[in-house]
Amino acid sequence: LKTHEVTKININQRNFKSIVIDDIGEICSGSVTHKLFADDMKLYSTVDTNVDNVSLQSVLDRLHQWCCDWQLSVNIGKCHVLHIGKNNRHYPYFFNGCQINDACIVSDLGIEFNSALKYDAHINNIVDKAYSIGLAFFSKVLLLDTFQS
């Protein structure tokens, strides 16, 4: 069973889209995969050994230097590490000397999932929202019905 590390980086700049980001691919070379969406970046890597751990940390260090070079700030409070897999060693990761918080549940593009890749929290959240909307709707319908009677 392989273990995976997912690191979410939130770059806190509006002009991020206008910057040429082709060199991010060079920063995230090797066993680390990156995904970009708007001002979010996700790094994925299979971490089976300490060498894999060092490789992912090295990418984070190079990414920090790239952000400094382009004068981009990173909101470390919005950055998370999701450790996936039963035998995951939960290596700590750092960005600019600050440890990135581990997360048990993360939300990505509106979908919540946990380190076991279960969607229970997401489904419960949707059901709770549906109940609250339904309750608000029916209470207004009943209220209108009361005044019309």
Radius of gyration of the chain (CA): 21
* Residue 119 CB partners (closer than 8 Å, separation 6+): 111, 112, 113
Angle at 57 between CA 56 and CA 63, to 5 degrees: 90
Tell me the per-residue pLDDT of 39-54, one tens digit each, with 9 for 90 and over. Answer: 788 898 989 899 999 9
What percent of the chain clears pLDDT 70, i.e. is strictly above it?
Answer: 78
Q: What is the pTM of this model?
A: 0.71
Residue spans of the chain under pLDDT 50? 1-3, 14-18
